[in-house]
Amino acid sequence: MKKTLLFLLLSVISISKITAQADTLAAYYDKIEKSFNYESGKIKLTEGDGTLNVPKGFKFLNGEQTQNILSNLWGNPEDKSVLGSLVPDGKGVTHADSWMFVISYQGDGYVKDDDADDIDYDDLLKTMKEDVASENEERKKAGYPEVQLIGWASTPFYDNNLKVLHWAKELQFGQDKEHTLNYDLRVLGRKGMYNISAVAGVQQLAEVKASIPGIVKSVEFNDGNKYLDFDADTDTVAAWTIGGLVAGKVLAKVGFFAILAKFGKVIVIGIIAAFAALKKFLFGKKDQVVTRPIEEETALLDEHNSTEE
């Protein structure tokens, strides 16, 4: 009986400490969230001579802020080519269920779409899995988890009218039980293309897919740089076609480090909040005292997110 009471007492104390940590972490992440400058309306993209019309249900973050989130909050390698991101309304980037579309530009020439109707995507998937696996040794040496390509989350589709290609891959990082969704769009233009990639979990596939109709029309090249403005006498033709884009050959110079995912401290909130909810359900609200471990946690977050302070 005494052991049972002692166990219950220790459980209450532990849950109380975890809840206190959750409250402090939530306040800390809320501070980070409020530091971001979200925009809406028409945005002039800094590369590619294009325009972003922020679609309904989203808000825009510029390149510098987006890169800080991807690297310092979500644990991805730095990539200065990022032009910005679209974040769903009602979801902050520090939330456990947050996700975003990341926008970048690749100015390597006009991509021919002659092969769009002839690609065997099942066969292409096999090659892609081999390519991803071959990159893992390099990823491990750089201190990043291995990647496994599980399969298509959405089979590639090319919209010949809009000149937009989109597809989705299901990925596993390391031994994570929760798989990652990479939903990619390529908006083709006269001299290059805009890359729009969703960084989300597979469980958010339905939510991401529901937003695709608005996203594919949100980025467009300005007059003179559209796909149909191509001049065969003066313009450069890219070394790959539609199949090469899906296979990721265009990313060969950076390898599969270009694959983005959510890692980092932001996931801690979801874990701690679960304990907090359990405590509230079993015991109701209690007075809370912030303990030293959370001070160490926030100190570490300060170090990783110093640009947001």
Strands 82-88 and 58-62: antiparallel
- Which residue stretches of the chain have pLDDT < 70? 1-26, 249-309
Continuous H helices in 35-155: 63-68, 121-134, 136-141
Residue 301: per-residue pLDDT:
47
Identify each DSSP E strand in the chain by its residue range. Answer: 42-44, 50-53, 58-62, 82-88, 100-106, 110-112, 147-159, 164-173, 180-188, 193-201, 219-221, 237-241
Q: Do 25 and 297 form a contact (C-beta atoms < 8 A)?
A: yes
Structure tokens that stand for 133 in this block = 């696996």
* pTM (whole model) above 0.85: no
Residue 281: per-residue pLDDT:
41
C-alpha 55: how far from chain center:
18
Query: Using one digit for the tens of pLDDT, what is the confidence trace for 152-184?
Result: 999 999 999 999 999 999 988 888 888 888 899
C-alpha distances in angstroms, 112 versus 109, 159, 242, 284, 299?
9, 13, 7, 63, 51
Query: Using one digit for the tens of pLDDT, what is the confidence trace for 117-141?
Result: 899 999 999 988 988 888 888 878 8
